[in-house]
Structure formats: structure tokens, C-alpha cells
Amino acid sequence: MAFHLKTCGGCALTDPNGHSVNVPALSLVGLAFLHQEGRPVARRELARMLWDRDDSVASTNLRSMLRRLGSALPAEGDDLLQLDNRHIAIAPGMLGCDLEVMAEPDPVKRLKGLCELISKGFLQGYGHNQAPLDKWVRAVRIALVKNLRCDFLALCDKPAASALKADLKHAAILLLEDDPQDEEIRQALVTQAAPEQVEATPLLLPASARTPDQPTAFNPDRAVSKTALPRVALLPPAELGIVSSQNSIASALIEDITIGLCASRTVSMVAPYTSEKIAQSKDRASLLKQFDVAYVLDTKRSGDHLYVQLIFMPTDEIIWANRFLLDPGHTISQRAMISEAIQSSIIDFTHYHTPALHDFKANPDAYCAYLTGLQTLSKLTLPSVRSARRQFKDSLNLQSKFSHALAGVSRTLSMEWVLTAQGDADLLLEAERVASIAIEEDSQSAEAFKALGMSRLYLGKIDESLQALSEAEHLSPHYADVLCSHADSLTHGGDPKRSLEKIDTAISLNPISPDAYFWSAAGACFFVGDYHQALDYINRMKDRSPALRLAAACWGMLGETGKARTYRSRVLKDNPQFDLNQWLSVVPIKEAWQIELYREGLKKAGF
């Protein structure tokens, strides 16, 4: 029996009994190299490969690694390695490897196996630099792609190709992710796809984005360079709570969109395995670095509807969103209509955002610092707000005129004013000033107008706040954060019913909503007299501390004095200097009846 080495989708070694062997990570890379070479390798050559140096230190490192490897292997059984003073080799028949699929005689099994290996990625974490090991890793990846391309084209020409459509489409998507300019693969994909999947594709290309049908020769060296086309990841919806017929429609629809976009020549689609990794991660900044993904098409299902939203990753901004009815009775026509609508919107909006994408490519570190700040700001606590401000300033140190980072600084100043409840006007004046600078730098930034509207709201300039937020919504009508801020200003401006309509839309666009959405919704519910619903929204917050005053007022209005005073005690514990009259004198509420209603609730709570 032989050991088995896994090199794709993580690196691992198992013994002949199938048990995992805990060995140094670099020794697994060395085993992969020895396996692929298939010959005795000079110790000096292997040391230079693994440590990129040709000296005694590398030789010493190699001897140490071999000792640790040997001590980790089972004592019984045959040796995994053949060693002498000069060479190292894998003992015959002692190591199997997932890369052996390249030698699989059955072309169908070989194609499926290659798809799996390429999807998972060979020796992830290596291959990005110019060291000998990185060059070798890239060479293996290129060989995998080249083998898959040959098998794909050969199988497409066989009479039995129709029985392999799903596998061939998967292979084509992987090949086009590797080289979006490979016209031979693109045409083969169109041939394999069902007519309804691609019939509208030529109509999707804007005139400025269309390119002639010029076949592109396969260039294996292309794998080491970045594609010029923007990369799009399509995140499939979760499978929860949907009947099987709707599951089937949604799954087929996702495939239609993927194939249509692969055929569009305007974007580069990320393979499904990579999309799954993106869907599982909450760290958008690291995703940008790891996968070079510019756009994410996020899909969610609720009841019999499919929600889709296109997110510009460098700023984590929703630039387009829509929802579609999943009707099992009109499957083919509906799929074609929805697929064309989504593809068309993706192509239009990615084309429109080209300048922003170029700016990100020129300043990636500034955008990553900005995204880190956004992630920190998702928690409505004073330490998080101040930490986010530092991260936004780090972004500005890298790109001084970055409008989104300026808007981020402005937001943190306004949020600090709310959380401290001390009425410090200087915070708001600085927030207004910085937001105005952000608009000067980018007059098309919805984020900047949102920050300006937020600062002016708390300065008591409610009409000017609503004007700024209306402009933000005009610039980005599907940006849920803008809708939330607009809703909050409408509540303070005396129109809580309209506020609830906007916040409901924001929550539908962003179902996994941040606490600020629920806090805003609770405030609107309080002013329409729906105190139970307000408390329900507060209870949906992960961190309810910013809404403790509002919760106390709700319980007070409901006559639950005990619960109201419990929340009052928690407020005063966090902010012993809180003064009701001082707070009500600075809180920006336009209508007198709202001020008196809020005062009544807080007084009933014991403030």
C-alpha cells in the first residue's frame, strides 16, 4: 500500500491506512516536486528549489526537514523515500498523488479530474513570485490547464459530446477564467450550451465593448499574468426554504448567466469553486488581494423571488439590484428573460464603473485599507468607530484624494457624536467639512453625499440633509446604506411612514443587515406608535447598546415600567453623564410632537 499526497485545495499526506500524517508543510511541497520529477533529484537541487539559496544553510534546512519527515512517518512498513548522500527519490510504488490524473487513460475521467484540480488550485499560497519554487508551481498549473484544454477540444468533437455537456461547460468556464481571450474555447462553449442560454448574448455587448471575432491562439504563458477584463464572481443563492421546482429554476438560471457572461467578451467569470470561497468569507479586503475579483453578483432567495445585487468590491458598494419572480410555469421563457436582464445590467454597470476599477488597480492598498475600515465600522461601538477612522486615515495616507475614505472619516465623526450623546458640535462640523471635501474630489460619489447628509442631520440642518441624501440615492438608487441613511433623516424630518418604506427596501436589498438598519427601523416604528415592532427591530440587532435609550422609551410607552427602568439603568451605566434635557435640546428632530413623544417615553422610563 502507498502513501497519498493531495496538492490541490490544500496540501495533505495520508498513510497507507488513510490516516493523516502531520509533517512540515514544506516537506509536502518537496514530495510534490519529487513525485512530478519522477527521477532521483540531487539534494542540492531540491534544497535550492525549496529555499531559493545555494549554500550550506539550505543544505542544513533540507537535512532537518528530512529528519522531521522521517520521524512523522509510521515506523512499520516500507520507506517512502530512497536516500543516499547525493540524491533523493520517491520509492517506487510508495506515493500516489492527485496530479496522476494527468496520466489517466480515460479522457472523460481525465477531464473531470483536471476540472477538480484546477478548481481547487495547485499548491495555493505559492506561485506568485519569481523564486524557483514559484516558477515550478506556475509551470504545473500551466500544464494542468493545457491538458484540460486539449481534452476539452477533443471531447467536443466526439459524437458523445452531448452526454458530457455539464462537464464540458464546467471545463470551458475554467479555461475562460484562465484566459478570457481564448476565442476557440468561447465558441466551443456556445456550441455546447443550450440555445436559450446564449441566444441573447451578442445583443448584450455595448458598442464600445464589442470586439471582432478574432481567434486567439492558446498562450500557456498567459497564466502568469493578470487579465485586463474585470473579474466577476457569481455567488449562488442558499438552498434553504425553497421548493424543489424553484431550486431547479434558480440553479439553471445561475448556469445560464455564467455561460452567457463567459460568452460576452466583456468580463472574466470566476470559477464556481472560487465563488464558493468568496461566499464563505467575510473579509472583503483579503478577497480582493487573493482573487483579484472586482465585482460580485450576490443572489438570494426569499419565498418565490430571486434577489440579485451587483457589488463593486473595492468599495463594497451595491451598484445595481433587482428581484425576479421564480415561476415554475414559465421555465424556459422566464430563464431567458431574467438571464438576459441580469447579464445586460452586469455588462452595462461594469462598463460604467471602468474608471473606478482603473483607480483601484492603481491604488489597491488604499482600497484594502478602506475596506478594512468598513468592516470595523460594522460594529456600532465607540472603540470600533475610532478604530475605523484610523483605518480610513491609513487609506488617505496612501491616496490623499480618495473620496470614499474621506466619506468614511466623516461618517465616524458623526457616529461618535451619536454614541457619546454629549452634543459636541465640533465633531459634526468637522464631519460636514470632510464630507464636503469628499464631494469636491468626486461629485458622483453616493458615499460622499451620504456622509454629508448624515452630518447635516445631526447639525439640525434637516432639509439640507434630506437634499444631500436624495442626491446620494439618485446617484446609487440600489445602495442599501444610502436608503438606510435617507430613511433615518426622513424619521427625524417628521415623515416616519415614508422612512419605513425606505428602510424596508434597504433590508430587502441587504437581508443580512447591519445593526444600523434595525436601529433606524426601530426609530421610525416608535414615531408611528408601533412600540412592539420597534422592540422587535432592536432585538434583531447583534449589539443593542446604541438603542438602549430607544428601548427604554418603548417600554415606557407600553407601560412596562420595570423593563423600562432596567434599560434606563443600562444607559446610565454606559453613560453616567447622560442628561435628558441636554440631549433633547441637541437631538435633531424637526417636529415638536416628535420631541414631546420621545420625552414622554424617556420620562416614563425614569430619565
What tens digit of pLDDT does each residue of 514-550 get?
888 999 999 999 999 999 999 999 999 988 988 999 9
Q: Is residue 286's pLDDT more than 60?
A: yes
Task: Specify whether 341 is located in the same domain as 240.
Answer: yes
Task: Specify whether 501 is located in the same domain as 401.
Answer: no
Q: Is residue 292's pLDDT more than 80?
A: no
> Could you write out the DSSP letters of every residue in 123-148?
TTT-SSSSSHHHHHHHHHHHHHHHHH
Beta bridge partners of 306: 301, 324
Task: Specify whether 300 is located in the same domain as 421.
Answer: no
Q: Write the single-letter amino acid at 352.
A: Y
Residue 213: per-residue pLDDT: 36
pLDDT category of residue 206 using cuts at 50, 70 and 90: very low
Helices (H), 14-131: 25-37, 43-51, 56-72, 107-120
Task: Specify whether 500 is located in the same domain as 439.
Answer: no
Residue 242: per-residue pLDDT: 43
CATH number, residue 89: 1.10.10.10
Query: Does residue 277 lie in a domain region?
Result: yes
Q: Mean pLDDT: which of 76-85, 121-130, 550-559 is highest?
A: 550-559
Residue 109: CB atoms within 10 A of its CB come to 11
**CA 79 to chain CA centroid, nearest Å:** 45
Task: Specify whether 462 is located in the same domain as 583.
Answer: no
pLDDT category of residue 88 using cuts at 50, 70 and 90: very high
What tens digit of pLDDT does each residue of 462-491 get?
999 999 999 999 988 878 888 999 999 999
Q: How many domains does the chain contain in total?
A: 4
CATH number, residue 457: 1.25.40.10
Domain finish residue from 418, 453, 477 = 477
Task: Specify whether 466 is located in the same domain as 375.
Answer: yes
pTM score above 0.75: no
Q: Which residues neighbour 356 within 8 Å (Cβ) at sequence distance 6 or greater?
A: 312, 314, 315
Least confident of 81-90, 152-161, 337-346: 337-346
Least confident of 383-392, 493-502, 508-517: 508-517
Residue 393: CB atoms within 10 A of its CB come to 16
Residue that wins the pLDDT comparison between 339 and 388: 388
Task: Specify whether 430 is located in the same domain as 497.
Answer: no
Q: Write the single-letter amino acid at 256.
A: D
Query: Does residue 124 lie in a domain region?
Result: no
Task: Specify whether 405 is located in the same domain as 516.
Answer: no
Give whole-number Cα distances, 531 to 536, 559, 594, 598, in Å: 9, 11, 14, 12
Domain finish residue from 289, 318, 353 = 353
Residue that wins the pLDDT comparison between 435 and 337: 435
Query: Does residue 161 lie in a domain region?
Result: no
What tens digit of pLDDT does each residue of 3-14 get?
999 999 889 999
Q: Mean pLDDT: which of 131-140, 231-240, 358-367, 583-592 is highest?
A: 131-140
Q: Is residue 419's pLDDT more than 90?
A: no
Query: Does residue 336 lie in a domain region?
Result: yes
Q: Is residue 215's pLDDT more than 50?
A: no
pLDDT category of residue 240 using cuts at 50, 70 and 90: very low
Residue 252: per-residue pLDDT: 65
Tell me if residue 321 falls in helix, strand or coil.
strand
Query: How long is the chain?
Result: 607
Domain finish residue from 325, 353, 381 = 353
Distance between start and end Cα atoms, the chain: 77
Residue 239: CB atoms within 10 A of its CB come to 10
Contact 94, 2 (CB under 8 A): yes
Task: Specify whether 311 is located in the same domain as 368.
Answer: no
Among the listed residues 193, 98, 113, 188, the one whose alpha carbon sits nearest the alpha carbon of residue 147? 113
Query: Does residue 526 lie in a domain region?
Result: yes
Residue 289: per-residue pLDDT: 65
The mean pLDDT of the chain is: 83
Q: Is residue 149's pLDDT more than 90?
A: yes
Residue 497: per-residue pLDDT: 94
Cell of 279: 461566499
What tens digit of pLDDT does each residue of 218-227 get?
333 433 334 4
Residue 247: per-residue pLDDT: 52
Q: Which domain holds residue 401?
A: 363-477
Beta bridge partners of 569: none
Query: Does residue 285 lie in a domain region?
Result: yes
Task: Specify whether 74 is located in the same domain as 18.
Answer: yes
Residue 251: per-residue pLDDT: 63
Query: Does residue 468 lie in a domain region?
Result: yes
What tens digit of pLDDT does each residue of 104-125 get?
999 999 999 999 999 888 998 8
Task: Specify whether 232 is located in the same domain as 337.
Answer: yes
Residue 517: per-residue pLDDT: 92
Residue 211: per-residue pLDDT: 38
Burial class (CB in 10 A: 0-12, 13-18, 19+), 103: exposed
Residue 525: per-residue pLDDT: 96
Would you say the C-alpha torsion 154, 160, 163, 165 has a positive or negative sign? positive
Query: Does residue 520 lie in a domain region?
Result: yes
Task: Specify whether 519 is located in the same domain as 418.
Answer: no
What gap in Å lies between CA 149 and CA 368, rounded to an integer?
35
